[in-house]
Chain A
Amino acid sequence: ETGVTQSPTHLIKTRGQQVTLRCSSQSGHNTVSWYQQALGQGPQFIFQYYREEENGRGNFPPRFSGLQFPNYSSELNVNALELDDSALYLCASRPSGGRGFHEQYFGPGTRLTVT
């Protein structure tokens, strides 16, 4: 157990709909990153939040957006869902500095299926 939790575990949506995924980071971790992992691929970086601000973004369109809250929990929102958005969505947390800086731990993921 990494202490990172995600909800829901599984989700089925229809093309064109919107979805919100949630993540609670490990205690003491103020940096949260989101990744998308398609079947048979490695995780792809979506974006990272630090102190409620986005401070890094991967090659994903603006319909992928996020939030981080004062308690460091985070949301990933995806608008206008497409079939290719079907994937495992992973949240990862780490401290912003100190000894554990390099150690990024993933939550269990949310499996999103778009039909």
Chain B
Amino acid sequence: QKEVEQNSGPLSVPEGAIASLNCTYSDRGSQSFFWYRQYSGKSPELIMFIYSNGDKEDGRFTAQLNKASQYVSLLIRDSQPSDSATYLCAGDSGGSNYKLTFGKGTLLTVNP
């Protein structure tokens, strides 16, 4: 069973702090990894994807991938109350049918 594991949280950080979200995966065939943000009652929104080892930065968000350790993380700098949401980590299946396997998500709360 190919799995993506996330700490369900909740993770609580003060406004302006760095939030660190982590994810591990079991399928070594996965090539690309995705972070989605999901507000309560809404559909997932793509924040970032990463497919190379190392860091990828986009504004206040940094994704990190370590394929040897099968570990993916998302850092959110200068956290804002509007960042409060569930963050879903997903890995792809590789190949042509390209399905995503999601973790259960981590609930992040940013306190003003």
Contact = CB atoms under 8 A, between A and B. Distances in A.
B46 A105 contact: yes
Contact of A102 (B32, B44, B96): B32
Interface string A72-115: 00000000000000001010001000000011111111000000
B49 A40 contact: no
Given A42-B88, A42-B90, A43-B102, A104 B96 contact: no
A55 B46 contact: no
Nearest to B44: A106
A58 B46 CA distance: 21
Interface string A19-46: 0000000000001010100001111110
B103 A42 contact: yes
B43 A45 contact: no
A6 to B, nearest CB: 9
Interface of B: 4, 32, 34, 36, 42-46, 49, 51, 88, 90, 92-93, 96-105
Interface of A: 2, 31, 33, 35, 40-45, 48, 55-56, 58, 88, 90, 94, 102-109
Contacts, number: 58
A44 B49 CA distance: 19
B100 A45 contact: yes
B44 A43 contact: yes
Given A42-B105, A44-B102, A103-B46, 8 more contacts: A43-B102, A45-B99, A48-B97, A56-B97, A90-B43, A94-B98, A102-B92, A103-B49
Contacts of A31: 98
B32 A48 contact: no
Given A42-B90, A42-B104, A104 B46 contact: yes
Interface-centre pick from A31, A43, A56, A103 (highest chain B CB count, 10 A): A43
A106 to B, nearest CB: 4
A55 B102 contact: no
Given A41-B104, A42-B88, A102-B51, A56 B99 contact: yes
A104 B97 CA distance: 13
